[in-house]
Structure 1
Amino acid sequence: MGLFDKLTGTRHPEDGVAPVPREELRAALLGVSQGEVPYVVRYGGGEGCDLLAEWRLTEPAWQHIFVRSQISHALKIRMRFDQQAHEVRVLEEQWEVERVGTPVRLQVTSKYERGQSRTVSRRWTVGRGEDGRLTATETFHFDSAQMRDPLRETVLRSGWTWRGVVFGKL
């Protein structure tokens, strides 16, 4: 792995892993967001990509979790397939969000970042233990790697390269 690959978050599959057909990879990536995960993977359509993964910020079932956890960034991962090179070109975009209104909802601000990023949100409860000492217990943990890592691992297990894009187009 070269320096530029490290900076962009590019990862290559293990030697000897044969690339699966594009449609099989697409189906596997769409399946990553099944179940109780805080993001959705969907067709890119008008977003300029083949697939798009994004936080479920606006879905009622997830919105209260994002608001309560004090999440301050929204993340989208745009993916475009390059069949000839067997790589998924990936553009990560992040926006700052703020809590507004009553009831509280998340609103995107004007701050925008592009490239590999990481957002971590944790909530701790502080109290006293039986011995009277202060204790801190983590009651909530949320990490943007929860979205990126399963997508990247699916691509790599499928024999394709995960190629981070920072400059230029997907």
Structure 2
Amino acid sequence: MGTRHADGGTKAVPTQELRAALLALNGTGVPFSIRESGTGGADLLAEWRFLEPAWGSGATRRQVERTLKVWMRLCPREREVRAMDEQWEVTRAGPPPGRTVARSHGRGPIRGIHKEWVLEKGPDGRRRKVETFSFDSRALKDPLRNTVLGAGWTWRGVHKL
């Protein structure tokens, strides 16, 4: 599930200092928001919502909305953060995407890189690929994990908090 330990020479910071450091990730250019959780045994929740580009036209037009969540429980005695990953996917249909045609939900490690391109005619007349959409799960997990490890704590991926 992805357990990582801080370097041996890193002194563990107090729980409140780690909490403050994780909450301070908001507004630093990360694509997600992090807040106090208050539910499900978690202390903090990092959440990233995004829409993939729509494809198709008319009634066959589809658009996928993804929500990635990392639920974090701070365990001061063990000096570890237990992190549970959760993914939601909703596919909507129609010219203005509104009607839900599919839903999926899963727990487990969020891993993935997804990119989409279109072919365009360049200034020289040749066709070239132009990226239209990009998603990399490391943009969510790396800042969280690095903050925890930098604070001298262990990052432990779990299936259940």
TM over 0.5: yes
Q: Give the SS at the match of 1:154.
A: helix
The percent identity for this pair of structures is 47
Residue 81 of structure 1 aligns to which amino acid in structure 2?
L
**Counterpart among 9, 12, 21 of residue 5 in structure 2:** 12
Partner of 2:83: 90
The list of structure 1 runs, each at least 4 consecutive aligned residues, that deviate by more than 4 angstroms after superposition, is 69-72, 105-110
Partner of 1:23: 16
Residue 148 of structure 1 aligns to which amino acid in structure 2?
K
**Counterpart among 71, 88, 106 of residue 78 in structure 1:** 71
Contact 1:74 1:96 in 2 (8 A): yes
State the shift of 1:108 in Å: 9.6
Q: Highest CA radius of gyration, 1 or 2?
A: 2
**Counterpart among 20, 37, 44 of residue 51 in structure 1:** 44
State the shift of 1:72 in Å: 5.2
State the shift of 1:147 in Å: 1.0
Whole-angstrom CA distance in 2 between matches of 1:110 and 1:67: 15
Q: What does residue range 64-143 of structure 1 map to in structure 2 within 5 Å?
A: 66-68=51-53, 71=64, 73-100=66-93, 103-104=96-97, 109-143=102-136
CA spacing shift, 1:24–1:124, aligned 2, 3 Å: same
CA spacing shift, 1:99–1:36, aligned 2, 3 Å: farther
Structure (1/2) with the larger helix percentage:
1
Unmatched tracts of structure 2, length 5 or more = 55-62
Aligned length: 153
CA spacing shift, 1:106–1:94, aligned 2, 3 Å: farther
Contact 2:93 2:101 in 1 (8 A): no
Over the aligned positions, Cα root-mean-square deviation in angstroms equals 2.5
Deviations 1:110-157 (A, max 9, x none): 532211122433232312334443210224322222111100010011
Whole-angstrom CA distance in 2 between matches of 1:151 and 1:15: 19
Structure (1/2) with the larger strand percentage:
2
Residue 129 of structure 1 aligns to which amino acid in structure 2?
G
Unmatched tracts of structure 1, length 5 or more = 1-7, 58-64
Query: Is 2:153 aligned against 1:160?
Result: yes
Contact 1:9 1:164 in 2 (8 A): yes
**TM value normalised by structure 2:** 0.81
